[in-house]
Amino acid sequence: MSTANRIIKNTGFLYARMAITIFISLYSTRLILEALGADEFGIFNVVGGSITMLLFLNNAMTAASQRFMSYVLGEDKLEKLKSVFVSSLLIHLIVGLLIVVILEVGGMFLFDGVLKIPPESISAAKFIYQVLIISTFFNIISVPYDAVINAHENMFLVAILGISQAFFRLFIALFLMYSHGGLKVYGVLMASMAIILMLIKRIYCHINYDAISYKIKNYFSKDLFYEMIGYAGWNILQSSSRVLSIQGMSIVLNSNFGVLVNAAQGIANQVNGQLNSFSTTMLQALNPVIVKSEGAKKRDTMLKTSIAGSKLSFFLFAVLAIPFIVEADYILGVWLKKVPEFAVIFCRLILLVTAIRQITITLNTAIASTGRIKNSSIVEAIVMVMLLPVSILLFWAGGKEYVIYLVLIGVEVCIGASRIWFAHKYCGLGIGFFVRNVVLVQSLIFITTITLTYFVSGLFVEGFIRLIISGAVSSVMMIFLTLFLAFSAEERGSIKKVINSLVNKVKGGKK
């Protein structure tokens, strides 16, 4: 099977998962918000955000595991693949235990003046904190299995697990609605879901993949172990700055405006996560191909795939984000019975932040595939760490709640520029070529489409009909402009071949 067809097939599995899970997840969120109330929903988000801040260690190790697994698969060395898995397993066990200790110590200070939580809810918040620590540990030690599954491009299994997780979350939401279990029950059920999913992944990988080995004495490589830690070390710097800053937004907003603003932020993050899943789904199928190409010493293929991936990622996100930005008031009003204050403006701004990030998202994978991430990690960390202090100063000066997202927009622009530079330095990417053919073109397409969509929507009364019209206008414009302005003749030819291949398969013709 060709690379293009394999990507299409794997992406198809993931989109099938998304088509099933997106509405289930959104409906589940509505039920959970209704069952818990805005205050308890906000408490869960701010406590969960406090824990997520420390997951930069795990995120860094995850990136290292997947990068090394995919790279070695490109080299086609089974024994080394087993060594990568063994090293990854040991690293994540150590990281998991370390994070548990840090969270337990941090919890002593977190509830003593750092978080603004109503006194009557402190007990439930502390209980949720402990339950989420357990959930976090099991999520961490399941990462080596995720790396194996993704490196082997088994997106069918990823799709099945995603669907199962969505139905599990729906069950939790319905249980809360009818049992009135409250915040503590919600936390226990969410932790149970993490444990069950980890066990399923472990059993499946052990049965189906030769890379899975628990013979530490046979396959442990000290050199590889330290190489992965060294790679992850710089990734930790990058991941920690991003996670601490993004999740730190919850604490900064909470400290200045209280838990109701956290509820609005939680809704914005849910919306952004669901809409972004269309592009991240494609990237999940694409990233192993980028790293494998580098492992197989095919630099031209790696760059072409990265550039095409940036265009596709931006398109897949923007085609959904634009109508939501335009019709946010109506959509949130229909979705939620009571829309938290600031939810609309938070949603619009976080979607703009993510759109900017999509333009250079695959360049990060391209740089990582070379293993030379030290300098890019330092620069991104320096830029990212400025988010919170700048936002705090603006809040002290009387800035509104949404100011923190405006600062985040500036941060993402600077990070995108640094990715282009380092992709040029380490991968041979042409800066002028990328800026002209990707950055400027995608920006023009976005501005043109959203302006026209706003204009057309203004001609109609707010409602379902206007939503459909806005979605149709933005979709047609995005498809037309992306196809003829963003994609090169070669890329359009590849798309045509893939479409023809799919049509022939449907008709029963030749591949």
Mean pLDDT of 487-505: 68
pLDDT value of position 201: 87
Closest CA to 249 of 125, 408, 364: 408
Q: Measured between alpha carbons, how far is 443 from 360 in angstroms, rounded to an integer? A: 12
pLDDT band at 431 (very low <50, low <70, confident <90, very high): very high
* 110-165: pLDDT as tens digits: 777 666 677 777 777 788 788 888 888 888 888 888 888 877 777 788 888 888 88
Q: Residue 211: helix, strand or coil by DSSP?
A: coil
pLDDT value of position 99: 81
CB atoms within 10 A of CB 123: 12
* Residue 354 in tokens: 């993510």
The pLDDT of residue 312 is above 90: no
pLDDT band at 72 (very low <50, low <70, confident <90, very high): confident
Mind spelling out the 3-state secondary structure of 430-454?
A: CHHHHHHHHHHHHHHHHHHHHHHHH
Question: What percentage of the chain exceeds 70 in pLDDT?
Answer: 87
Output the pTM of the full model.
0.73
Which tops the pLDDT comparison, 294 or 15?
A: 294
* 7-60: pLDDT as tens digits: 666 767 777 777 777 778 777 777 777 777 767 777 776 666 656 555 556 666
Average pLDDT of the chain is: 82
Mean pLDDT of 327-350: 87
* Residue 289 in tokens: 């191909």
Contact 305, 291 (CB under 8 A): no
pLDDT band at 511 (very low <50, low <70, confident <90, very high): very low
Lookup result for tokens 């040991």: 90
Q: Measured between alpha carbons, how far is 44 from 259 in angstroms, rounded to an integer? A: 10
Which tops the pLDDT comparison, 105 or 282?
A: 105
pLDDT value of position 6: 63
Q: Measured between alpha carbons, how far is 198 from 195 in angstroms, rounded to an integer? A: 5
CB atoms within 10 A of CB 204: 18
pLDDT value of position 247: 74
Question: What percentage of the chain exceeds 90 in pLDDT?
Answer: 23
pLDDT band at 495 (very low <50, low <70, confident <90, very high): low
Task: Write out the DSSP string of 336-371.
Answer: -SSPPTTHHHHHHHHHHHHHHHHTTHHHHHHHHHHT
Beta carbons within 8 Å of 254's beta carbon, 6+ residues apart: 46, 115, 116, 261, 262
* 178-209: pLDDT as tens digits: 777 777 887 788 888 888 888 898 888 888 88
pLDDT band at 510 (very low <50, low <70, confident <90, very high): very low
The pLDDT of residue 351 is above 90: yes
Mean pLDDT of 453-463: 92
The domain locations on the chain are 1-233, 258-511
The pLDDT of residue 66 is above 50: yes
Lookup result for tokens 């002028």: 432
pLDDT band at 108 (very low <50, low <70, confident <90, very high): confident
* Residue 104 in tokens: 């337990």
The pLDDT of residue 362 is above 70: yes
Mean pLDDT of 161-170: 85
Q: How far is CA 125 from CA 174, 185, 191, 253, in A?
A: 22, 12, 15, 18
The pLDDT of residue 399 is above 60: yes
pLDDT value of position 263: 83
Q: Measured between alpha carbons, how far is 167 from 91 in angstroms, rounded to an integer? A: 31
pLDDT value of position 60: 65
Lookup result for tokens 């960390």: 381
Q: How far is CA 128 from CA 45, 48, 110, 267, 509, in A?
A: 11, 8, 13, 19, 56
The CA dihedral of 385, 386, 392, 397, to the nearest 10 degrees, is 180
Contact 384, 441 (CB under 8 A): no
